[in-house]
A and B are shown apart, each in its own frame.
Chain A
Amino acid sequence: MSVLDPFVELLRGLGTTFKMMLEKPVTYQYPEQKREVRPRFRGRHVLKRYEDGLEKCIGCSLCAAACPADAIFVEASENTDEKRFSPGERYASTYEINMLRCIYCGYCEDACPTEAIVLGDNYELSFYDRRSAIYTKESLLEPVPTVDMTTPRKVEAGVFTRSVPEMKDPQD
């Protein structure tokens, strides 16, 4: 402490801000330069497929039941070996998420018995009207691994009998 403190402290304040000027700005130039999202980021949902291209979703509606915002609507139909969408008996013929209702809590992800619905890393959602805020199955489903693995497809009878696969504990 010295007698000149009232003056010196003011100058020190100026010095601090001037030093800040020489630092690199922390800004991300957003649309051109995007920041990687965190590993557990919860963005727009994705409906996953197995490696053989079949859909993971079996239309059980547990996600819709878990949804606190009532944003998910699922309607299930029967699989046949002629037109197979997913392993097991049933598949989701309609799968809709209203993105205006969704609160991105991730409960649907937790509820899913087949890890079919996953919250992805896309956060750039915008719509011109309410109707287009409802994402349908076509827009949610991830693309097939290779072109010949489309659903529905004709499979051998008696191969895909188990709707929920053998699972390990989830890894993140």
Chain B
Amino acid sequence: MLSDWTLWLEWFIKSVIVILALLTGFAYLTWYERRALARIQARIGPNRAGPQGLLQPIADAVKLIFKEELTPAKADKVLFFWAPVVTMVPSIILAAVIPWGTSFTMFGREIQLHLADINVGVLYVMSIASIAVYGIVLAGWSSNNKYAMLGGLRSSAQMISYELTLGLSFVTSIILANSMRLRDIVDAQAGMWFAVVQPVGALIFWIATLAEVNRAPFDMPEAEQELTAGYHSEYSGMKFALFFMAEYQKMIVICMIAATLYFGGYREFGFLKDTIFSVDYTWALGSWQITNWFLGPIYLFLKVVVLLFGMIWVRASWPRVRYDRLMAFGWKILLPLSLAIAFITAAGILLSDLYDNRLYFWAIPVLSILAGLFTVAMIYRELRRKAYERA
């Protein structure tokens, strides 16, 4: 099979498409974020370079390429050079397992809109997402700068803490789909998104991803008031651009994963099932049979845009949390809650299978929302207690 050169060609083309999509996605995400933030702050944002400022990313890239690259004299030169690469590569290869559509037939072969359909896709996502932290820690350490070091350490501590929560919210989705293959997870959401079955799980996943990609309000590793720019303080020019790229590509990819796990991936919205807007709908034009495969990437794109807007919106709204509270929130609130959510989901599935009663299945959202409310109440109590002690 590996000697089949057309297969290699197919893989090559699909890889190029994924990488190009991520690179342009990164460029236009910066534009999107700047425009959205500007609108929230009653400004206009970049609108000079090209129509509506659409050429701004290119102008930024040209600027960064021509900037001088500095290497601190006491930096560890080798690690300092490789750290941006180590950060950048996982953020791209993370996208390899994400399905972006069904399949279509071309030149007599079925082409899956999927780069690598591995059966432990979720596990792959988890492991690659964790590798990215190495780049940040190494960057912080090799810069030989206190602030960079602290930023790198914060980043690693934060990622380790929130990875547990993230993993448990992956588990919830895996249990619901009964598979670790991302395509199966998407197909299991044909009728209904997992965000409907498990809203609290989706919310926890969302919070954990914010911490995982170091976005506000969890952007402690690069808190500019405290650490200048955190782990990339000493970086300039294209090396800095690589960190920037990695961060934004991780945002895109993590939004794709969130869409895949909880919001139906490349599938249509639940209520559009069995209509002509479904990705499974087949047009029969005489002898031609065309499925709606092209709708898959469009739906995924729309979902990613909406989720990214959520990230930008949160950044514009909420202040950065203090570091000890970040840790307390991760370990004392999110982790128990996500454990409870995973347990409730597992128990609900088990009981509904055991007694063949859908009532148990619908107990999952109800119970998990109750668990979420209980958590919020506990936070409230704790805040009241602290306020009382301070007074």
A residues near B, CB below 8 A?
A: 3-7, 10, 13-14, 16-18, 20-21, 23-27, 29
Contacts and interface: CB of A to CB of B under 8 A. Distances in A.
B313 A14 contact: yes
Contact of B39 (A3, A4, A16, A21): A21
Contacts of A10: 318
A20 B40 contact: yes
A26 B380 CA distance: 38
Contacts of B44: 25, 27, 29
Nearest to B38: A25
A3 B377 contact: yes
A23 B39 CA distance: 8
Given A4-B376, A14-B313, A21 B383 contact: no
A101 B47 CA distance: 35
B43 A14 contact: no
Contact of B380 (A4, A17, A18, A25): A4
Contact of B373 (A4, A18, A27): A4
25 contacts: A3-B376, A3-B377, A3-B380, A4-B380, A6-B376, A6-B379, A6-B380, A6-B383, A7-B376, A10-B318, A13-B317, A14-B313, A14-B314, A16-B317, A18-B313, A20-B42, A21-B39, A23-B42, A24-B42, A25-B38, A25-B43, A25-B44, A26-B42, A26-B43, A29-B44
A5 B316 contact: no
Contacts of B380: 3-6
B289 interface: no
B3 interface: no
A13 B216 CA distance: 14
Given A4-B377, A26-B42, 18 more contacts: A4-B376, A5-B380, A6-B380, A13-B317, A14-B313, A14-B317, A14-B318, A16-B317, A18-B40, A18-B313, A20-B39, A20-B40, A20-B42, A21-B36, A21-B39, A21-B40, A25-B38, A25-B43
Interface string B353-391: 000000000000000000001001101100100000000
Given A25-B44, A26-B42, A27-B43, A17 B376 contact: no
B41 interface: yes
A3 B378 CA distance: 8
A13 B315 CA distance: 11
B315 to A, nearest CB: 10
Given A6-B376, A6-B379, A25 B42 contact: yes
A166 to B, nearest CB: 51
Contacts of B43: 25-27
Interface in B10-63: 36, 38-44
Closest 10 CB pairs of A and B: A17-B317, A6-B379, A27-B44, A3-B377, A7-B376, A13-B317, A25-B44, A21-B39, A17-B40, A17-B316
Contacts of B40: 17-18, 20-21
B41 A20 contact: yes
